[in-house]
A and B are shown apart, each in its own frame.
Chain A
Amino acid sequence: MNNLLQVVKVGIADMNIVKTPSLIRTSGLGSCVGVVLYDLSAEIAGLAHIMLPDSSLAKGAGFNSAKYADTAIRDLVSLLAKSGARSSGLKAKIAGGAQMFKYSSGSDLMRIGPRNVEAVKQELSFLKIAILGEDVGGHSGRTIEFNPQSGELMIRTVNKDQVII
């Protein structure tokens, strides 16, 4: 039996799912938000690295659902359901949504971090998925790693100790 701990990496504006014993990770979350949805009883978890709050912001062709809070969360839920998670047993943990640059010009996009967090929470509450842990806001980038067996989300921030929620 292969017990090798495998870490599945999720890129920016991307999503994926894992089962025990694998871990799932995304690096360098700035204003982006990492949304983890998991079912502990099935030991399965999905992670989306979203960039923008709302798919209505999309212009032009080539739609990538993992980029937007609303569509990413919905797609992640159905992806998890197909892989054996109980939709009713899904819980969420979220991290990210920082404001990377303090001196912002008027641009609305500079305040995108808090808007992303808000959009994620709204979508999760609409789908009645409880948020059991969050580390959002601030001014620092984050790297997160989730363990579907323990339900622990490890968060690493530059110049700070790593925390587990």
Chain B
Amino acid sequence: MNFLDKNISSMKLDILREIGNIGAGHAATALSTLLNKKIDMSVPDVKIVSFDEMIDMAGGAENVVAGVFLRIEGDAPGSMFFVLPLEQAEIFIRELPGNIPFRADELPYDELALSALQELGNILSGSYLSSLSDFTKLSLFPSVPMLSIDMVGAIIGTGLLEISQVSDYAIVIDTALNEEVQNTDAVNGHFFLLPDPESFQIIFKALGVPDHE
């Protein structure tokens, strides 16, 4: 498959969407267990986007978020982001056991709060990846997740480095997690899965998709 091929077959797009579905589904369950409340997820959005478009998907270059970034290592390397709006990070931390003080507008951030946020990202992306690994029978494991509270553009720009050596576009599998609250449909968190260009072939092969499809 040519990575830049914008005519990726609808079958392949469906498979990528299913990957997002399974992965984020497990992550949503993990989050729901952790916070002891209902968490909804959106139908995954699979898109071939320019870097600028990807940054816009996450809220725009200057938007300040809590971003957990990790590299996927193993058979099909890639990058993964869990992006949370700052207010939502604040809510999540308050809902975690332990009464950790954290306010998005109060600096410096509490070390424990940052560590909790990082752990949250770790648990969610870990469950995303392990379900993906079960589904594809590929060996995939996460690097130590890294947390940054900063502008979206600055965080995502770093995660795009691997892909940027090959292409000006990325295939992103985007799933939003929503806390189920009445009268709001605010998007609370985004998972972005960005397989490295050469990983697509490996994923499709593992799932038995013929090359010419």
Which A residues fall within an 8 A CB radius of B?
11-14, 27-32, 51-52, 57-62, 64, 67, 98, 100-105, 107, 109-110, 112, 139-143, 158-159
Q: Is the CB of A59 within 8 A of B146?
A: no
Q: Is the CB of B154 within 8 A of A141?
A: yes
* Complex CA–CA separation, A152 to B71 (angstroms): 38
* Complex CA–CA separation, A107 to B77 (angstroms): 13
Nearest residue (CB) in B for A104 is: B146
Q: Is the CB of B160 within 8 A of A51?
A: yes
Count of chain B residues near A, Cβ 8 A: 37
Let me know if B161 is at the binding interface, CB within 8 A. Answer: yes
Nearest residue (CB) in A for B164 is: A51
Q: Is the CB of A98 within 8 A of B162?
A: no
Give B46-71 interface residues, CB cut-off 8 Å to A: 50-52, 55, 60-62, 64, 69, 71
Nearest residue (CB) in B for A109 is: B161
Give B148-200 interface residues, CB cut-off 8 Å to A: 148-158, 160-162, 164-168, 197
* Complex CA–CA separation, A95 to B61 (angstroms): 16
Let me know if B4 is at the binding interface, CB within 8 A. Answer: yes
Given A13-B168, A105-B143, A143-B62, A27 and B153 contact (CB-CB distance below 8 Å):
yes
Shortest Cβ gap from B3 to chain A (Å): 7
Q: Is the CB of A12 within 8 A of B154?
A: no
Let me know if B107 is at the binding interface, CB within 8 A. Answer: yes
Q: Is the interface of B mostly helix, strand, loop or mixed?
A: mixed
Q: Is the CB of A60 within 8 A of B150?
A: no
A59 cross-chain contacts in B, Cβ below 8 A: 165-166
Q: Is the CB of A159 within 8 A of B157?
A: no
| Contact mask for chain B residues 89-122; partner A; CB cutoff 8 A; 1 contact, 0 none | 0000000000000000001000000000000000
* Complex CA–CA separation, A13 to B170 (angstroms): 14
Nearest residue (CB) in B for A66 is: B168
Shortest Cβ gap from A71 to chain B (Å): 14
Which B residues fall within an 8 A CB radius of A?
3-4, 50-52, 55, 60-62, 64, 69, 71, 107, 143-144, 146-158, 160-162, 164-168, 197
Given A12-B157, A158-B64, A60 and B151 contact (CB-CB distance below 8 Å):
no
Q: Is the CB of B55 within 8 A of A52?
A: no
Given A11-B51, A105-B71, A105-B143, A30 and B158 contact (CB-CB distance below 8 Å):
yes
Q: Is the CB of A158 within 8 A of B151?
A: yes
Given A62-B4, A105-B71, A105-B143, A28 and B168 contact (CB-CB distance below 8 Å):
no
B4 cross-chain contacts in A, Cβ below 8 A: 60-62
Select which of A103, A109, A141 is within 8 A of B150 by beta carbon.
A141
Q: Is the CB of B152 within 8 A of A52?
A: no
Q: A28-B62, A103-B146 are in contact. List 10 more A-B contacts (CB 8 A).
A: A13-B164, A100-B148, A100-B150, A100-B158, A105-B71, A107-B71, A140-B154, A141-B154, A158-B64, A158-B151
